[in-house]
Structure 1
Amino acid sequence: MNSVLQAFREQILQANKESSPLRIQGSGSKQWYGKPVYGEVLDTRLYSGVIAYEPTELYITVRAGTPLIEVEKVLQERGQMLAFEPPHFGENATVGGMLAAGFSGPRRAYGGAVRDFVLGITMMNAQGECLKFGGQVMKNVAGFDVSRLLVGSLGVLGLILDITLKVMPRPQRETSLVFAMSEPDALRQLNRWAAQALPITGSVFHAGRLVLRLSGSESALRYARHRLGGIEFDLADAFWLQIREQQHHFFMAEEGLALLRLSMPSTAPSIPTRAKTLIEWGGAQRWVWTHESIDTIRERVKNVGGHVTQFRYANHQQPVFEPMETALQKVHLRIKHAFDPNGIFNRGQLFSDC
């Protein structure tokens, strides 16, 4: 065990002995997400670097404190990428924070989510034990996939140390098309196109305008442009970066409001509410600013098979995440107790009592 890991272990064991909380944090680029977390900071940036990269085998293993931008640069040099297009939300975002938050970008609905590309993880639990799950290749195995369970866990289960990710080749070409249409028409078209063999890798609808991104070979893009129509978008690269990083003007803070993230079936109709909306992922992810109560929005979204998260600027008098059914919460608490019985990691992030 190297000196950094030994220091982590000593800090964790001391906190566990005293039942005092630890706040696992990299650059802090996503610390606004979820409920406020208090405690002594455990800084993951002390543990950084690429451990292994095999371009021909399509995997990379990195330490959790490694800046995400460094990993993307290494992959870009070999014509590869992280296919889930993770948001950074800060120039110093780390790979561990990316995994713990579980965020995916515009390619999510077309290329897969973060958890779909996690091959293996090494973590440290509250007893200071290093636990390894998974490996370097995708396998179908029986049992509980702990490596993927850690994706989106917000650090409540333990300290993520090493991460092995599946990587993908970058597209040969990309282009974007713009269409003018209403929200109901955009949802119908997106679902119709989803059933066709079209190289769509991003979709955004806002204020009467639908933007599609196409990725692939020149012949595939030529065929898609002919089928779809629309107008080519000259400033597409900057636009998709703004959407990924929530720097588009839609995401500017609305005074006194929380930015709500509605996760719902792509086939669900528009939610009847007076709100500003932006729709991604072929209709499966919908962003909302509204003065209507969160409880009202949650009930409407639940009725169509979805759930609501207070993504940014949360009102902490209301649940940030969709309240769990009692049985499911019991399962979560049992898993939490198995890894962190004294509740020292990111205490209160998901549940008030641990």
Structure 2
Amino acid sequence: MSVEAVTQRIRDAAQRGETLRIRGGGTKDFYGEPARGEELSTLGLSGITAYEPSELVVTVRAGTRLAELEAVLAERGQCLAFEPLHFAEGTTVGGMVAAGLAGPARASAGPVRDYVLGVTIVNGRGELLSFGGTVMKNVAGYDVSRLMVGALGTLGLIAEVSLKVLPVAPAEATLRFDMTQAEALRRLNEWGGQPLPLNASWWAAEQGRGTLSLRLRGAVAAVDAACRTLGGERLRSEEAAPQWLACRDQRLPGFAPREGGDLWRISVPQTAPVLELGDTLVEWHGAQRWVQARPGEGARIRDAAQRAGGHATLFRPRDAGATQRFTPLAPPLDRIHRELKREFDPAGVFNRGRLYPDF
């Protein structure tokens, strides 16, 4: 389906009062509230429309497979530094931006929105709009392009996106340490205050043994010096690489919901202590914690996250009609969200209910 056909479909839906459910590869259907409406696929909007390796910028249509884009970048020794998640082979670039989920390297590289330079969207009136551009300095005032990151398609259909890319680091090493969660959090905070090429980390306990995996990336001399300074067990690259892919794509045991349980994602300051919520996997140097819990424990988890200065999301619920996925918004933020929705999608055409049941 062409951009023109998509635009006309949206105009027709707005005129008839219909709701459309935007969908790319469908690999994140579980994330967020169940969206309502007739499916509107973005898979026909595919292809890399511009790539300037020397400028570190690529422009891609939303339905392009993420694996296809990453393969093209890899040929030129470049990558998406935030390490986007691949839940399945069908992951698309548009879905990556709409969900705003970054992988293990987010702790050092930054979030998805930091790499979005510009977008072309179709709003709820069926208007084709472009925001931002292909250079960082092109943004002045309110950065609408980054507003689309994490909006889960509630504000508009992403047709095309321009992304900043970075060279692949010349050196990488993974160190493994045996330690408790409390010790891992303490050490990660200490290391974070030192000039070390820290890139990613994850801690988990299996069979009563806590293990911290730490990935270093950067110049060869810097990585080698950090390995000597930090100690630990240095893993061979052929052993470490599959583990980091499993962490990125949430295939580690700590991500699999226990039988009859839910998987919660907790975002807190890196300095937050152990939350004592049960089985936990820690990422992003302590800033992201994954917790296994029984249904009905949402209030306890959200209270613990709030007391630690963060918030909690029901990431993979056992029951489709379970607790509200995202933390309820404070009144001022709720008002801003609703006003933005009315501005971009006044007729409520897109992904109704995907962020919040009544939004």
Q: TM-score, structure 1 length as denominator? A: 0.97
Bigger mean CA offset, 8-17 vs 162-171: 8-17
Shift of 1:87: 0.3
Residue 271 of structure 1: aligned partner: 275
Match of 1:44 in 2: 42
Identify unmatched segments of 5+ residues in structure 1. none
Aligned twin of 1:332: 337
Give 1:126 deviation, angstroms: 1.3
Contact 1:314 1:320 in 2 (8 A): no
CA 1:145–1:314 in structure 2 vs 1: closer, same or farther (change >3 Å)?
farther
Written as runs of structure 1 = structure 2, the 5 A alignment for 1:240-259 is 240-259=244-263
Give the superposition deviation at 1:38.
Answer: 2.2
Unmatched 5+ stretches in structure 2? none
- CA deviation vs aligned residue, 1:14-49 (integer Å, no higher than 9, x gap): 111111110100110111101111211111010100
Report the residue type matching 1:172 in the other structure. P
User: Which residue identity is paired with 1:196?
Assistant: Q
Across the aligned residues of Structure 1 and Structure 2, the Cα RMSD in angstroms comes to: 1.2
Residue equivalent to 1:81: 79
1: distance between equivalents of 2:140 and 2:257?
45
Equivalent residues of 2:326, 2:356 under 8 A apart: no
Would you say the 8 A contact 2:35–2:354 is kept in 1?
A: yes
Q: 1:33 is paired with a residue of what secondary structure?
A: coil
Q: Distance in 1 between matches of 2:152 and 2:143?
A: 17
Report 1:188-337 matches (<5 A): 188-207=186-205, 208-234=210-236, 235-273=239-277, 275-291=278-294, 293-313=297-317, 315=319, 316-337=321-342
- Name the amino acid aligned to 1:297: I
Task: For 1:16 and 1:226, locate their aligned partners in 2 and report how far apart those are by CA, in whole Å.
Answer: 62
Q: Supply the AA of the counterpart residue of 2:228.
A: H
Distance in 1 of aligned mates of 2:67 and 2:235:
26
Give the Cα–Cα distance (whole angstroms) in 2 for the partners of residues 105 and 152 of structure 1.
Answer: 14
Q: Which residue, out of 28, 31, 44, partners 2:29? A: 31
One-letter amino acid of the structure 1 residue matched with residue 34 of structure 2: P
SS in 2 for 1:224: helix
Structure 2 CA distance for partners of 1:58 and 1:89, relative to 1, 3 Å: same
Say how many residue pairs are matched: 351
Asked if the contact 1:258–1:313 (Cα under 8 Å) also holds between the matched residues in 2, the reply is yes
Q: Percent identical across equivalent pairs?
A: 49
* TM alignment of 1:9-24, pairs within 5 A: 9-24=7-22
The residue aligned with 1:60 is 58
